[in-house]
Amino acid sequence: MRKGIAVSPGVSVGTAYCIHEIFVNPDTRRLEENQVREELTRFERARDQAASELRALSKKVSSQVGEQEAAIFQAHETILHDPAFTSKVRSCIADDHLAAPAALHRVLDEYSSLFARTRDEYIKERLADVRDVIVRLSGHLSEVLQPDSTDLPGPLVLIASELLPSHVMVLGERQMAGIVTQSGGRTSHAAILARSRGVPAVSGVRGILRQIKTGDRVIVDGRDGVVIVGPDAETESAYRKVEREFVHLKDQLAENRDQDAVTADGEPIELLANVNSLSDTDAAVAMGASGVGLFRTEYLYLTHRDVPDEEEQFQAYCQVIEHSPSRCVTIRTLDLGGDKTVPYFGHDREANPFMGWRSIRLSFEHPDFFATQLRAIHRAAAVADADCDVRLLFPMITILEEMRRLRRIVRRLLRDMQAQGIPTRPIPLGMMLEVPAAAVSIDALLGEVDFVSIGSNDLVQYLMAADRDNPKVNHLCQPLSPAVLRVLSQVIASCRRAGKPVTLCGEMAGMPRGFVLLHGMGLRSFSMSPAQVPVIKDLAKQLSQEKTEAILQRALELKTVGEINRFMRTQFAELAPNLKMLDTQ
């Protein structure tokens, strides 16, 4: 039994499916003598394909982003043709009779050991470039790097060091019964994906990939953050009973998809969905969301082989708008940086990447790149039906000057598009409130925005000065901490006084305990993972304004996270005993 962080509720029993960072159990069997020449030819062919791909990438990135950003791919091509690198791989194949993927694996290990001994940070960072080149070569050597899941019995539990957006692309629509990761917390990619798919998940289970292999039996308890490898028959039987109860409850809740979201007072509330892709949008419809409150456009970039051009983006935005519930969608501009990076912005390490060159700051520094996205969004909004509600959201706004600058950029863009005869229409412009400075000065900012979306994931880590994905400090990133509740209460009150629509689109919106307190603050618009919509819709029916305001006032009097959690656990059990299985913190 291993303990981690409970990040998505429920229980599942299944077969482990392990994803390692680059290679999954590379085949180390020795080649026959007559196979060596063919394997060398296969490596050379993969190298030529990778080089051609890198040249095309460099050209495309240079025209869309900039020459400096394209230089990363030129550097990768240099590594690809480096005599020392290629001779090492060829030697492993010709002399040691290793298959090309295993040869690349060995060479990567050699470089990793070599780079680890140097104190020069610049040289250490070049290892990331070598890894990228090897990943690209591996992709051309084999279209499928992961073990074939079709031969594995029963539902699958995904085990990974961390779940990256690129893994999501590889997995596609493959159904997973559970997810376990070695790193990350409640707001990691793995946690967000698990909740969006409604599957149990546990993160922060250190070393799990050393203790489990593909095909092992595994239990995931997303309520208590427990993972059990190789359970005995009695343990498996007990957890299967809980798993059936969990599935039955989810099926029951899904039946409310066509019901309006209202409280016990009969007051309507808005339950929106956070989406990364078209498939998430379809899930939002299936779960009964009333619209898309946050379309994370960066996933278009994170899962793209290079950089999506304006036409690709335009088509993607049109599809999401057309498929969104009620055709209501808030589109957030690129939120890259921090833990979400693309190769054409390089591997340069920042001491504090979450507080550095990311999000809207990156967009400001690449105006042509930014303009391409803004044009695609405005074109998609213009061709949508008149009854479509399309909004534009800017992330990580810190100061008033940024919103004023963005309004000027959008005005100029619309004038240019109109001069070119491209149809446009004005759409509401909003800010993502996730920086404490913006929360403190919210009253000044409200004059420059049409709406506000609170990004609680980043707001919490910035308030607590703790990286939410750092296992040494992520215990501080608690959305129900006294400081967070006070700041949220003040921001929501300011927005309501100014008559500006406000939504909370962080993971806190889909947490039952968080939802109760946010409702008590007067918030009436929530955006969450699609799978959480039926849960929150059922919970809302059991709440009244008088009740949640009283709970909030008592919670604000408490002085520690532990006190608030204990209090909310008791309150939730009384408010919604039928949902107790889905209550995690």
pLDDT of residue 150: 52
Instruction: Note whether 130 and 95 are same-domain residues.
Output: yes
Least confident range of 108-122, 259-273, 405-419? 108-122
Statement to judge: residues 174 and 272 lie in one domain: no
Residues 399 and 481 in one domain: yes
Kindly report, residue by residue over 181-205, the tens digit of the pLDDT: 887 777 666 677 777 777 898 988 8
Q: Phi/psi at 320 (nearest 5 deg)? A: -65, -40
pLDDT of the residue at 144:
37
The residue with greater pLDDT, 180 or 186, is: 180
> Cα separation of 397 and 405, whole Å?
11
- Quote the DSSP letter at residue 354: G
Place of tokens 């981690």: 4
Per cent of the chain over pLDDT 70 is: 88
Domain containing 57 equals 33-141
Both 9 and 152 in one domain: the answer is yes
Asked which of 110, 141, 172 is the last residue of a domain, the reply is 141
User: Do 425 and 477 belong together in one domain?
Assistant: yes
Within a domain: residue 185? Answer: yes
- Which CATH number goes with the domain that contains 94? 1.10.274.10
76 among known catalytic residues: no
In a domain, 27, yes or no: no
- Asked if 495 is an active-site residue, the reply is no
- Confidence at residue 147, expressed as pLDDT on a 0 to 100 scale: 46
List helix spans (H) across 441-557: 442-445, 456-464, 482-498, 512-520, 533-540, 545-557
Task: For residues 224-228, give the mean pLDDT.
Answer: 91
3-state secondary structure of 390: strand
User: What's the CA gap between 480 and 147, in Å, rounded?
Assistant: 40
Tell me, what CATH number does 152's domain have?
A: 3.50.30.10
pTM of this prediction? Answer: 0.80
The answer to whether residues 279 and 193 belong to one domain is: no
For residue 168, pLDDT over 60 is answered with: no
Please, are residues 168 and 193 in contact by the beta-carbon 8 Å criterion?
Answer: yes
> What is the token pair recorded at 574?
């009384």
Apex CA 337: angle with CA 334 and CA 341, to 5°? Answer: 95
Q: Decide if 257 is inside a domain.
A: no
Same domain, residue pair 161 and 300: no
170 pLDDT above the threshold of 70: no
Q: Are 136 and 153 within one domain?
A: no
Structure confidence by residue, pLDDT tens digits, 40-67: 998 999 998 888 888 887 887 777 777 7
- pLDDT tens-digit map of 85-120: 999 999 999 998 998 888 888 888 888 777 777 766
- Residue 158: what residue type? L
* Number of domains composing the chain: 3
Given the residues 167, 189, 323, 378, the one annotated as active site: 189
Q: Do 294 and 420 sit in the same domain of this protein?
A: yes
Q: Are residues 164 and 137 in the same domain?
A: no
Q: Is there a single domain that holds both residue 66 and residue 164?
A: no
DSSP reduced 3-state for 535: helix
Mapping DSSP to helix (H, G, I), strand (E, B) and coil, where does residue 543 land? coil
452 and 557 both lie in a single domain: yes
256 found inside a domain: no
At 374, the pLDDT band (50, 70, 90 cuts) reads very high
28 assigned to some structural domain = no
